[in-house]
Amino acid sequence: MHVTRFEDAPEYQAPNHFDMRCVYLQGRTAGPAVQLWMGVSTLAPGGHTGLDPSPMEKHYVVLDGELTVTGEIDGRTEEAVLRRHDSVRFAPGEKRQLRNHTAQAASVLLAMPLAPPVGA
């Protein structure tokens, strides 16, 4: 068993993430992991990510607040507003963006594999 206390979770900087605080909860520099890592990102009002693809599948769960998520794959764009306990999955290669359009901070849990799928 490996416990990470939120107040001790190591911070990290992700590319194209703006007005956000990101921490590892499990895996990466937060401790051992074999297949996936988890983190929490807190987006200040106006905080956002770029609309960028990733070779890895990503799962997000809104813990608090409200986020607008955008996904783009094969020329199709979808957008949704997520609130507490809503979730979204982005496929490998899908462009994804998170935006906080509200006046309150929002936090989101991220779970994703440590490595891209074989052959990706």
Q: Is the pLDDT of residue 77 over 80?
A: yes
Does position 48 have pLDDT exceeding 70, yes or no? yes
Asked if 38 and 111 touch (Cβ cutoff 8 Å), the reply is yes
What is the C-alpha to C-alpha distance for residues 104 and 100, in angstroms, rounded to an integer? Answer: 8
Q: At 120, is the pLDDT very low, low, confident or very high (cuts 50, 70, 90)?
A: low
Query: In the predicted model, what is the mean pLDDT of residues 61-65?
Result: 98
Residue 109 corresponds to which tokens in the numbers above? 């849990």
Indicate if the pLDDT at residue 86 is higher than 80: yes
Distance CA 73, CA 43 (A): 24
Q: What is the dihedral of CA 25, 26, 30, 33, to 10 degrees?
A: -170
| pLDDT tens digits along 4-30 | 999 999 999 999 999 999 999 999 999
Lookup: tokens for 69: 């998520």
pLDDT > 80? residue 119? no
Domain ranges of the chain: 11-113
The distance of Cα 67 from the centroid of its chain, to the nearest Å, equals: 11
Is the separation of the CB atoms in 68 and 79 below 8 Å? yes
Q: Which two tokens stand for residue 49?
A: 């990510």
CATH number of 11-113: 2.60.120.10
